[in-house]
Amino acid sequence: KAGVTQTPRYLIKTRGQQVTLSCSPISGHRSVSWYQQTPGQGLQFLFEYFSETQRNKGNFPGRFSGRQFSNSRSEMNVSTLELGDSALYLCASSLTGTGSGYTFGSGTRLTVV
């Protein structure tokens, strides 16, 4: 079966711009979680969506937002980009909503210049 697909794989944006990242979960998975990975902080939880509703949210500013569509695909948006937003953004989908059921995508590498 197809895995979790994240697009684009790489992105370069300028400070102040906004960006939208996309995640297509495994077919049948209704939970999608987003994480930010930086070298010094590891993976930081951004938010989780389940059946089009945000079920949980991490400690990130309001510039980070997301949504989930009826087909479970999810998008993450970052507005007013800052240099510190440069990171690998990982999406994970899950059938049951537990971490052991997570399947991660390969991530989107965002560089803010």
Site for other proteins contains 11 (CB under 8 A): no
Total residues contacting other proteins by CB under 8 A comes to: 30
Among 11, 79, 86, 97, binds other proteins (CB under 8 A): 97
Distance, CA of 111 to CA of 99 (rounded, Å): 28
Site for other proteins contains 60 (CB under 8 A): no
DSSP string of the chain?
Answer: ----EEE-SEEEE-TT--EEEEEE--TT--EEEEEEEETTTEEEEEEEEETTEEEEE-S--TTEEEEE-TTS-EEEEE-S--GGG-EEEEEEEESSSSGGG-EE---EEEEE-
Q: Which is nearer to other proteins, 86 or 103 (CB)?
A: 103
In whole angstroms, how close is the CB of 31 to other proteins at the nearest point? 6
Q: Which is nearer to other proteins, 18 or 56 (CB)?
A: 56
Binding site for other proteins (CB under 8 A): 4, 31, 33, 35, 39-45, 48, 50, 55-56, 58, 90, 92, 94, 97-107
